[in-house]
Amino acid sequence: MTDKKRVLILCTGNSARSQMAEGILRADGDEAFEVFSAGTKASFVRPEAIQALAEIGIDLSGHRSKNVDEFIGQEFDFVITVCDHANEICPVFPGKTRRIHHSFEDPPAPGVGDDETRLKVFRRVRDEIRAWMREFIRTC
């Protein structure tokens, strides 16, 4: 039996925000959490998310986008939705699951703007997620 809190972080594509949140919570959570992320419509992990986290020493290069269906029926202490769409259609999880919603800006889609402009948004969203996750960790 483990004392780790199980956390599932959801967004629409599991390509940016939920992936960054998963990486940050794993890195900053001091082994207190078992962390997963998924999307309501899995896609791919955005290279900008991988780069933005690499800049702060967190490696997402081995991550893959997962569909929330992979986690149906599992128990989690927390299900955190990081976009409004995922919050609206989040499935119900059994047991003592506590739902938390905090929406973060959706970084620009591939091909929108130049690389540096997109990366600036990813960095800002990364920093906002990290600040929010640190507060989450502190209050758990």
48-92 pLDDT, tens digit per residue, is: 999 999 999 999 999 999 999 999 999 999 999 999 999 898 788
Residues 6+ apart with CB under 8 A from 34: 2, 4, 5, 6, 7
DSSP 71-135: GTT---SEEEE-SHHHHHHPPP-STTPEEEE-----PPPTTSS-HHHHHHHHHHHHHHHHHHHHH
Which two tokens mark 71?
Answer: 């986690």
Q: Is 83 a catalytic residue?
A: yes
Out of 45, 58, 60, 83, which one is annotated catalytic? 83
| Residue 81 pLDDT | 96
Q: Is 140 a catalytic residue?
A: no
Between CA 57 and CA 102, with CA 43 as vertex, the angle to 5 degrees is 65
C-alpha 29: how far from chain center? 13
C-alpha 93: how far from chain center? 17
pLDDT band at 94 (very low <50, low <70, confident <90, very high): confident
Question: What CATH class has 5-139?
Answer: alpha beta
Q: Which helix (H) or strand (E) holds 39?
A: strand 33-39
For residue 118, pLDDT beyond 60: yes
| Residue 95 pLDDT | 82
pLDDT band at 2 (very low <50, low <70, confident <90, very high): low
Which two tokens mark 72?
Answer: 């149906």
Q: What is the pLDDT of residues 4-57, one digit of tens each?
A: 999 999 999 999 999 999 999 999 998 899 999 999 999 999 999 999 999 999
pTM, entire model? 0.94
Q: Per-domain residue ranges for the chain?
A: 5-139
Out of 11, 21, 125, 133, which one is annotated catalytic? 11
- Bridge partners of residue 81, in order along the sequence: 10, 101
Out of 27, 32, 90, 100, which one is annotated catalytic? 90
Between CA 121 and CA 125, with CA 123 as vertex, the angle to 5 degrees is 70
